[in-house]
Structure 1
Amino acid sequence: MNDPSTDITPIINITVSEHDFNVADEYQAMIDNNPTDGAVVFFVGLVRDFNQGKHIQQLTLEHYPAMVERSLKNIVEQASARWQLGRVRLIHRVGELQVNDQIVLVAVSSKHRQNSFDAAQFIMDFLKTEAPFWKKEKTNDGEHWVVDNEKDHKARKRW
C-alpha cells in the first residue's frame, strides 16, 4: 500500500487501439529517464485458440470509446492509490484479432517489485470484469458473444 509521506504521481499511459504494440518499445518507455524504479512487471495477453470449450478462429472486440477510456483510467487510478507506482502503461486492442495476436499489455514500474507485481495483477483482474469490452468469438460452430467467467469475478473479489 502507499505510504502517504512518499506519495508520487505515477506517469500513466493508456491506449486503446486496433494497432499492435511492440513489447520492446513499451519496455524502453518504462525505463527511459527512470532512475528511481527498480522493478518493471509486464503482462501480455494473447488471443488463444480455445475458450470455454470451443475452438477459436478469431476474436472481435467492440467498445464504446468514452466509456472504455473512463473505465481504464479508473482502474489504473485505483491501483495507483493502493501501491506506490512509478509508471503504468496499459494497452488494450480492439477490432478483429487472430489467434496468437497480442490483445492486452499491462506494464507497471515501482521502486520495489511487490508493488509492481500486485498492481499489475490487480489491473488485469479488474480489466477482465470491469472494462466494458464486448467480445465476439468466431468458432467452427459460428459466432457468439463471450459471457463473463465466474473465475474472473472470484479473482477480482480478493482485492
Structure 2
Amino acid sequence: MHCHITVQHERFDLAAEEAALRVLAGDAGALVAFQGMVRGHDAATPLAALFLEHYPGVTEAEIGRIAEDAAARWPISALRVVHRVGSLVPGEQIVLVLVASAHRKAAFAAAEYLMDYLKTEAPFWKREDFTDGSSRWVDAKASDDAAAASWGD
C-alpha cells in the first residue's frame, strides 16, 4: 500500500492530489475523496477563524498508525491524508482523505474510518476565534468518540 501523509499550512489542490494518488493506486476500481472545510455557524457568535496546532513528527506518525490500521482492515491500494494547521477561516479546506481500493465498499469504509480516527486520535489542538474577539479551545466531542468506538477496536 502506498501511503502519503502531510501536515501543512498551505491549501491543497484536490484535483492534483487525486491525480497523484491514481498513479500510485494502479488498477484500483474505486477512489473515495473526503474534503473537510471549516464551519463558521456552530456558535451564537460567528467564527472568525479556527486555529490548529500540532506536534510535528508525532502528529504525522499517529496519522500513519491510523492509516496502517485501516490498511489492515481493508484492501487499500493507496491513500493520501493532508491536514492543515495554522489559522483557517470559515469555508477554507482543513483536511483531505483520499483512499483507493479495488472495490468501492472498502474505499468508503476506509475513508470513513480514517476520518473518525483523525477526529479522535490525531494530536491536533483547535482554538476557535470569534468575531467578537473571544476565543476558546475546542474539547473532544462525545459524538466523535462514539463514531470511533463504533468500529469495535
* TM bracket (short chain): over 0.9
Is 2:139 aligned against 1:147? yes
Amino acid aligned to 1:102: Q
TM value normalised by structure 2: 0.93
* Identity fraction in percent: 42
Amino acid aligned to 2:76: L
The one of 117, 122, 134 equivalent to 1:126 is: 117
TM value normalised by structure 1: 0.90
**1:1-150 aligned within 5 A:** 10-32=1-23, 34-51=25-42, 54-141=45-132, 142-150=134-142
Q: CA offsets, 1:18-51, max 9 Å, x none?
A: 0110000011012126441010000000001123
Aligned to 1:6: none
CA contact (8 A) 2:26 2:77 kept: no
Per the alignment, do residues 53 and 152 of structure 1 end up closer, same or farther by CA in structure 2, a change over 3 Å counting? farther
RMSD: 1.3
SS in 1 for 2:76: coil
Q: CA offsets, 1:40-68, max 9 Å, x none?
A: 00000000112355521101000111220
CA–CA distance in 2 between the matches of 1:130 and 1:34? 26
Aligned residues: 150
Aligned to 1:156: 148
CA contact (8 A) 2:25 2:101 kept: no
Runs of 4+ aligned residues of structure 1 deviating over 4 Å after TM superposition are none
User: Quick check: 66-75 or 99-108, which moved more?
Assistant: 66-75
Q: Mind listing any 5+ residue stretches in structure 1 that lack a counterpart?
A: 1-9
SS in 2 for 1:48: coil
